[in-house]
Amino acid sequence: MRPLQKEIIAYERVQPQIDPAAEVQRSVTLLQDFLETTGLKTLVLGISGGQDSTLAGRLCQIAMEQLREKTGNADYQFVAVRLPYGQQADEEDAMAALAWIKPDQVKRVDIQPAVEATVASLSLQISDFNKGNIKARQRMIVQYALAGDLKGAVVGTDHAAENITGFYTKYGDGAADLTPLFRLDKRQGRLLLKYLQAPQALITKTPTADLEEDRPGLADEVALGVTYAEIDAYLEGKEIDPAAAEKIESWYQKTAHKRRLPYTVFDQF
Ligand SMILES: Nc1ncnc2c1ncn2[C@@H]1O[C@H](COP(=O)(O)OP(=O)(O)OC[C@H]2O[C@@H]([n+]3cccc(C(=O)O)c3)[C@H](O)[C@@H]2O)[C@@H](O)[C@H]1O
Ligand SMILES: Nc1ncnc2c1ncn2[C@@H]1O[C@H](COP(=O)(O)OP(=O)(O)OP(=O)(O)O)[C@@H](O)[C@H]1O
Ligand SMILES: [Mg+2]
């Protein structure tokens, strides 16, 4: 195995093989232990219609239903949040995800007016790419506002195959109070969705950040220049095409700053 590959696998805590039932239980237990320890009663999560939030959303709902049953406390609630930027092209996927998750509550906030107001207030030529990150951060603002109002916590959907490439907006979708999918790669997330009997179309949906107006629905794999099959294989300790491995390692190194706390005077350069 490549030396950095070994180091990355240890950091991301990926197992080469998983038992989906056991991993569902592990994530649900994390959510429940977190709530019981902190005393918080609400979980908030944006539902896009993509694989990760469909899985994390269902895990939140299972955790809440079990907690209500166990404690008799009806205050435990999962709040799913729809956060379209205007009209979302794949709105029907988001609807299918909600229909399957069956969240206790659904809120909907169009982030477009706030994003447009931010862009206008900057009086700069904001690039389409940079505006995409504003969208991700606006979704973060709305989720934290809801969590503040509901005395809840924000759930993140970060997982090993995204964390390794740093393919998320720093303090945007990267901001969360807990990440129940951390340790799973993309394939393993799909195994959990399958085990939980999610609709097939959501399990096989092409992953997209869908943040850029110039390139709507741009597939993550195109943006990254490497496939999730390659990233997953790398994380599972397999030998992959050296060019793909180099690409993955280059993303990992370039985005190291996203996986750490801000620098302080105690850091060495
Ligand atoms: N070396 C360094 N040390 C410390 N901080 C550093 C730094 N280099 C940049 N920075 C800071 O980080 C910022 C750049 O990071 P960031 O703002 O995240 O921006 P960046 O990594 O350039 O872009 C985010 C990428 O993630 C993708 N994304 C975003 C959201 C969701 C999804 C998805 O899959 O759904 C994907 C998005 O399409 C894009 O490719 C800089 O503006 C600077 O503030
Ligand atoms: N339109 C949206 N509405 C609500 N939440 C969103 C929206 N777009 C992104 N998010 C939030 O940002 C997170 C990061 O997006 P990301 O694309 O990585 O995950 P996903 O859409 O759930 O799955 P996939 O990576 O397979 O597309 C989502 O999991 C979701 O919580
Ligand atoms: Mg997505």
219 close to ligand 1 (CB < 6 Angstrom): no
Mutate which of 79, 157, 181, 208 for ligand 2 pocket (most atoms within 8 A of beta carbon): 157
As a whole number of angstroms, the distance between CA 114 and CA 141 comes to 10
pTM of the model: 0.98
**For residue 173, what are its two tokens?**
């979708």
In a domain, 7, yes or no: no
In a domain, 250, yes or no: no
Q: What is the pLDDT of residue 262?
A: 97
Catalytic, 52? Answer yes
Query: Are 159 and 171 in contact, with CB atoms under 8 Å apart?
Result: no
- Chunked into runs of 10 residues, the chain (269 residues) has average pLDDT values of 97 98 98 98 98 99 98 98 97 98 98 98 97 98 98 98 98 98 98 98 98 97 98 98 98 98 96
Q: What is the pLDDT of residue 14?
A: 98
In a domain, 22, yes or no: yes
Q: What is the pLDDT of residue 2?
A: 96
In a domain, 184, yes or no: yes
DSSP string, the chain: --HHHHHHHHHHT--SS--HHHHHHHHHHHHHHHHHHH---EEEEE--SSHHHHHHHHHHHHHHHHHHHHH--TT-EEEEEE--SSS-TTHHHHHHHHHHH--SEEEE---HHHHHHHHHHHTS---HHHHHHHHHHHHHHHHHHHHHHHTEEEB----HHHHTTT-S-TTTTT--SB-TTTT--HHHHHHHHHHTT--HHHHSPPPB----SSSTT-BHHHHHTS-HHHHHHHHTT----HHHHHHHHHHHHHTGGGGSPPP-TT---
Q: At residue 59, what are phi and psi to the nearest 5 degrees?
A: -65, -40
In a domain, 225, yes or no: no
Q: What is the pLDDT of residue 20?
A: 98
Strand pairing category for 152-154 and 42-46: parallel
State the residue range of the domain holding 69. Answer: 18-207
Q: What is the pLDDT of residue 24?
A: 99
**For residue 212, what are its two tokens?**
């850029």
As a whole number of angstroms, the distance between CA 110 and CA 203 comes to 26
Annotated binding-site residues read 46-53, 137, 157, 162, 170, 177, 186, 208, 257-258
Catalytic, 162? Answer yes
Mutate which of 51, 53, 163 for ligand 2 pocket (most atoms within 8 A of beta carbon): 53
What is the total count of domains within the chain? 1
220 close to ligand 1 (CB < 6 Angstrom): yes
In a domain, 202, yes or no: yes
In a domain, 146, yes or no: yes
46 close to ligand 2 (CB < 6 Angstrom): yes
Q: What is the pLDDT of residue 39?
A: 98
In a domain, 232, yes or no: no
CATH number of the domain that residue 38 is part of: 3.40.50.620
Measured from the Cα of 218, ligand 1's closest atom is 38
Q: What is the CA(95)–ligand 2 centre distance, in A?
A: 13
